[in-house]
Structure formats: C-alpha cells, structure tokens
Amino acid sequence: MSGAEVSLRSVSKSFAGRSVLHKIDLDIAAGQFVSIIGPSGAGKSTLLRLVAGLETPSGGRIELRATGHVADVRLMFQEDRLLPWRTVLGNVQLGLKGRDREAFDILRAVGLRGRESEFPIGLSGGRRQRVALARALIHEPDLLLLDEPFGALDAITRAAMQLLLEQLLAARPRTVVLVTHDVEEALLLSDRILLVKDGGIARDLVFDRPRPRHRGDPALATLKEDLLDGLLSAEGNIPAVA
C-alpha cells in the first residue's frame, strides 16, 4: 500500500503550562484514511500540526516511515493560502521546475482545465480549494494532512470536493489524516475515525464499508448519531450515556 506509516508514542503537548494532549499512542498504517473529530479546543489541529512537524511535542516521539525514502508530508488548511499575484498554474508549480506537464495534468484532474492562466481573485471558494488540493497532490506526498479544508464551503461545493478527493485517492492512494467537524464527511471518506477529547483518544472506530458510500446508507446514519452523541457529551451539552 502506498503512503507513510505514522507512529506516536506517549506524545504530549502543552501551551503555557496548559496540557492540550496527554500521552497519545497512535499507529496509522500506510494508505489508511483517518479522520479526527472532537469538540472545539480538544487538540485536533494541534495533533495534526505535531504530525506535520509544525509543532514540537512536549513529550514522547513521532515517527513517519516510508519505503526507501524520507516521507514527504503536505498540509492543506481551511484557507486556500494561494498567492494572489500568481496564476492558478503558478500556484500549483510553486517551488517546482520542469514539471509543466504534471501541473497541467493535476489541474485537469481537479476540474480546472482551461483556468491555468487565471488569478485566484477571479475564482470561487471551491475552485480556490481545488487549486490548493492540486498544489498539495502534485508533490505526490506519502502523507496528506487536511485541516478542515472544506469547512468554509457551501454544502453543495463541499459535497463535490469530498467526491473529488475520494476519486483522486482511489487513483493514487496515500496516507491521509483529516481534521473535520463534519461527522458525515468523516464517515463518507474514512477507513478510521478518532474521537479526541480530554487530551486523549476517547474512541477509535474502524469503518470498513466499501466505497463509494452513500449519504442515505442506514449504517452511516446509525454511526453518525452515535458519534454525534459522543461529541455532544464531550462538549458538555448532554450527559454521557452510561
């Protein structure tokens, strides 16, 4: 299976003396799609940033393993973070030389053929996120980290981006870790869902139904309700079910 293996051992993170994550142990297999859900402030994005190497653990260790080379990691944010003075093609090619054909190919794959010379200001939010996704995927990362990349999109555009991501990963599998507040999104895309609360992993759900998955699937609806109950309990809005 393509992609990097991820291993966390006793990983903790504190900010200004406040513990956010406490002794996290986690193994992610190569090629696995893992979603992280949890209440606001639970440490979901902190965990992602630790894996990305943007934060240093206060304790413990993190290892990324890829076959025959150092694991390449790419992080995609909720904001597209495109450079407004560069064209669509220029944004995708950022930091690359001599890979014009690949840039055109990836833009075609994300549905932006013919828009290579346009600037970000002229694109919708969904199209800008497609450019950001293309910019991440052109590097063929072993590990793709997604920090609520579709959170600011309207429902229809979000559904289209979810389908696009699923199709791209089916063609070129890799390890993916997604932080999301959308439980349905996690169920549609993931092999595995982690519920983070109180500084640790409160639930580790392996979900192996075949893809593509359908929003009306009764099994998804049952799991969605169960996970939402867990989230509401974590938020303190309803009492935990015994």
Structural domain boundaries in the chain = 5-215
Could you tell me the pLDDT band of residue 152, with boundaries at 50, 70 and 90?
confident
**What single DSSP character describes residue 120?**
G
Higher-pLDDT residue of 68, 115: 115
Predicted local distance difference test score (pLDDT) of residue 235: 65
| C-alpha distances out from residue 121 to 69, 141, 149, 211, Å | 38, 27, 18, 35
The label of the residue with tokens 């990836």 reads 106
pLDDT tens digits, residue range 49-100?
Answer: 999 999 999 999 999 999 889 999 999 998 999 999 999 999 999 888 878 8
Q: Above 60 in pLDDT, residue 13?
A: yes
> Hey, what are 194's tokens?
């982690």
112-129 burial: b if 16+ Cβ within 10 Å, else e: beebbeebbeebeebbbb
The C-alpha atoms of residue 86 and residue 29 are separated, in whole angstroms, by: 37
Of 214, 145, 224, give the one whose Cα is nearest residue 182.
224
- Among the residues of 93-182, which ranges form H helices? 100-109, 125-137, 155-171
pLDDT tens digits, residue range 18-34?
Answer: 999 999 999 999 999 99
> What is 5-215's CATH number?
3.40.50.300
